Structure 1
């Protein structure tokens, strides 16, 4: 049976370029040394065959790959494990679990301090938004699921410790490039930040036909034991409230079916 064919007319259907996602696969260069996770791509010249890749090694260190080389270079610097990497203004960046952020030189893997640490949360994300680099600090809390969820024949000792991590809040910071520090933001205006397993990006609420911005859409399997729609939630900066995606006007339509960037299996 032939499947129906269709075409999208971009002259009548607007399209937004939100970002690009890259993911490592298990090859001879990555096996047993790198997570199969997010990496960022940086072209080094106007020629397409010259580039650099940056990702996070299993040790928590940054790992750099340059076109023309046979393998990855693991950068030894690591006060604490790195959480995220990104490309900003044509440069490679990495942020560790304390928010300390470095700029990585693609030619030799040297590091330059871009911002001092921001302590507090449990996981850091780097996001570019309207020409600024933002650090999003996610706070997690552990929830036990041993009460009232199992058959009476279950032994409580067998399920002790079972539970999940649930997101409880976010802090957002903007990079002060000259001062080499993160400055906390309390308002994103009409921007919406999207945090996924393999990429993070921002968009205009108006362009997405959402009611309002100033929020963070994110993946969270812990929004209730029965899992909310697509395992995602929305955090509002104005009131600090987290809501399931299904309760936020406009968001449900954006993520049904769920896109690849949220990393659902």
Structure 2
């Protein structure tokens, strides 16, 4: 015999316990949207103090920045479930902000509306796809400069540990409350990306070598280098496997503009140059085949079938094209913005592009009618 439970009439002593478990403002709003009883009885939202960390070059004896996070959601509407959903990226800081899922640039809505007012959670189902992180100054406004990647490292005993890659490709880590960032010593390697994959933290350098890192500053190389010579490597989990996407820049164009390409490759500087900005012209995708007692090797992937890879400024991810309205499978979505400094995301105006692995073509996102429906809110 089935027992029917009236979930709208929970015992009063549970509400405080439930409120303590809701760490993010959007989680609180989603819970309140279930019914009138839950909306009326849930206590006011009180966010937990964010963990604090030192700046990479700080000489202070106390933490000078705090950790913020973006959460990426797949947004589905029951009315349009047959045509897929949309990407939604929400920043949780002192207020909720909506950001472009690729460039992380802030999306502004009506001056008189907040995100909770323009997004009716009663109309959508939300599936969390992942999180990305960045640092903000404690005593100043804006994101911390000089960093191209921040991620939260899996750790035991409730400690909060971040891994950072600075603009010069140096790899470091810090625990919450530390006074200084500790840097990994791994020869002259210049690192491009870091990702948490199956509970472990992996980084990739400019040659395509993947290294597993731990809290005790150990580094274990797990892959050989790539045959490709692209300008930047991205780590991404796709279909449960670890991939690297190698991004190629326009060498010929920048030679004409007066850039020393050889110097660029040696110094690995990812920033705007006075004579122009590097443009993306090609991608190659590789899957890691793990070795038994030996280094894993990279196998080039010619087709992603129905998968699409998104190379965001703060993280990379993949999704089945069937999940998104207007999404193309076997494609790479990216920004042609070469400056990857997270602090400048609201200053620059990068464009979104789509690269097809099938015919090696690139088009600007939004140039076809279906493109406008990939992200929420969809454009008219």
Provide TM-score, normalisation by structure 2: 0.54
Deviations 1:44-74 (A, max 9, x none): 13x5x31321111454221012346432210
Q: Does 1:21 align with 2:137?
A: no
Which residue does 2:49 correspond to in 1?
none
Which residue does 1:153 correspond to in 2?
none
Alpha-carbon shift at residue 249 of structure 1 (Å)? 4.9
3-state DSSP class of the match of 2:372?
helix
C-alpha distance in 2 between matches for 1:57 and 1:6: 36
Which residue does 1:188 correspond to in 2?
304
CA contact (8 A) 2:327 2:374 kept: no
CA gap of 1:125–1:79, structure 2 versus 1, over 3 A, is same
Deviations 1:83-109 (A, max 9, x none): 111111111111111111100012x11
Which residue does 1:262 correspond to in 2?
none
C-alpha distance in 2 between matches for 1:73 and 1:100: 22
Higher strand proportion, which one? 1
3-state DSSP class of the match of 1:251?
helix
Which residue does 2:162 correspond to in 1?
53
C-alpha distance in 2 between matches for 1:165 and 1:104: 31
CA contact (8 A) 2:224 2:297 kept: yes
1:203 to 307, 319, 325: 319
1:168 to 281, 294, 297: 281
2:358 to 226, 235, 238: 238
Runs of 4 or more consecutive aligned structure 1 residues displaced over 6 Å after TM superposition:
none
Which residue does 1:150 correspond to in 2?
none
C-alpha distance in 2 between matches for 1:251 and 1:25: 32
CA gap of 1:90–1:6, structure 2 versus 1, over 3 A, is same
RCO higher in structure (CA 8 A, sep ≥6): 2
Structure 1, unmatched stretches of 5+, are 147-160, 223-228, 259-265
Higher helix proportion, which one? 2
Deviations 1:132-188 (A, max 9, x none): 111000000153698xxxxxxxxxxxxxx7332111110011111225122111111
Deviations 1:174-221 (A, max 9, x none): 111225122111111211111121111111111112353111000014
Which residue does 1:250 correspond to in 2?
370
3-state DSSP class of the match of 1:19?
strand
CA contact (8 A) 2:148 2:166 kept: no
3-state DSSP class of the match of 2:250?
strand
CA contact (8 A) 1:211 1:249 kept: no
3-state DSSP class of the match of 1:212?
coil
C-alpha distance in 2 between matches for 1:187 and 1:251: 21
Structure 2, unmatched stretches of 5+, are 1-110, 258-273, 339-348
C-alpha distance in 1 between matches for 2:118 and 2:377: 19
Rg larger for: 2
Q: Does 1:114 align with 2:225?
A: no
Q: Does 1:9 align with 2:121?
A: yes
Q: Does 1:66 align with 2:179?
A: no
| Number of aligned residue pairs | 231
CA gap of 1:201–1:80, structure 2 versus 1, over 3 A, is same
